[in-house]
Structure 1
């Protein structure tokens, strides 16, 4: 259970990992806030957004890589398990880490919303808390439903998330602060929404 005291976990982390290991490759499971979550599969637009972001990040910092589908131990006490759409870390960082890596050394996690009824609860509420408690420096949420990009920075596990949150509408320029220090032009994201 996380320090949030929301509810009793549905199962132990060990039980979750056993279920996740037995799931078919077409199913992505996460364990956030003590709840089993089924992550909706990527669509072609979501994949295109991630490819564009990958190119942008690598141009700004070629010593980094944007990993997709990387499992992370998250939340206070590392009792959660998340599979962000993308994880920015130094090249080769996850070698030898197994299926669920510690978040130490991760610079940024990225989520691109799926058209899913659980988006608000998970991507906008649960994951900022989980990633902030894990002290991951940046959480970038590309929210196709709201047509916004939200940059969460300055993690603070004591407040249960991030101290600084900046949201911009698609079409505006967004500053992603240190450790990235890049500016994203979000105009192109208008092409990847329903």
Structure 2
């Protein structure tokens, strides 16, 4: 049993988790914790291709609207009643949305969250199952999953407070529409270069 699995069996309140996350960052800046579905999780440190994907997407979002910013690694309180804590790879918001909010922000004003799969063991559970549900419960309009394992992009939209009612999947190389409020046609061809 891994350290993460052992800790996930321990019952934590959200306040306890946030204190643990603060302590973890003070002692190891590379350690990034999340608390989703009542389970403690550790996010993998992004590799160079992962960072390049976020940089590419940031540029596209700013070109679409100069008043937007794709914040990497900002903490969000998610799930029903904000009882979970996620640290998406990117959060598209109006540029001043997080001013004064601290490490764990509300989802108010969030237009889209982005996750890029990593090579860690719990990617399937976390990015493909738990996070879509948590983000839909938080009524985030668009969840973009860039899946480097399957070489696909999944656009989740139309949250109903429980799940996303619409999921569009395209292989890398195709163009996919990021629906309103984002409203960008995303050409995924460049992603083929960053799957390593």
Distance 1:137 1:99 in 2: 22
Q: Quote the residue 2:5 is aligned against.
A: none
Aligned to 2:111: 107
TM-score (norm 2): 0.92
TM-score normalised per structure 1: 0.93
Does residue 1:190 correspond to 2:188, yes or no? no
Q: 1:8 to 1:29 in 2, by over 3 A?
A: closer
Q: Which residue matches 1:4?
A: none
For 1:3, the equivalent position in structure 2 comes to none
Structure with more helix by fraction: 2
Structure 2: which 5+ residue stretches go unaligned?
Answer: 1-7
Q: What's 1:129 paired with?
A: 133
Take 2:9 and 2:155, find their aligned partners in 1: how far apart are those partners?
30
Verify: 1:176 aligned to 2:181, yes or no: no
Partner Cα distance (2:50, 2:68) in 1: 21
Q: Which runs of 5+ in 1 are unaligned?
A: 1-6
Query: Aligned-pair distance for 1:134?
Result: 0.2
Following superposition, which runs of at least 4 residues in structure 1 exceed 6 angstroms of deviation? Answer: none
- In structure 2, what is the equivalent of residue 22 of structure 1? 23
- The correspondence for 1:68, drawn from 64, 67, 72, is 72
In the aligned structure 2, how far is the partner of 1:60 from the partner of 1:98?
27
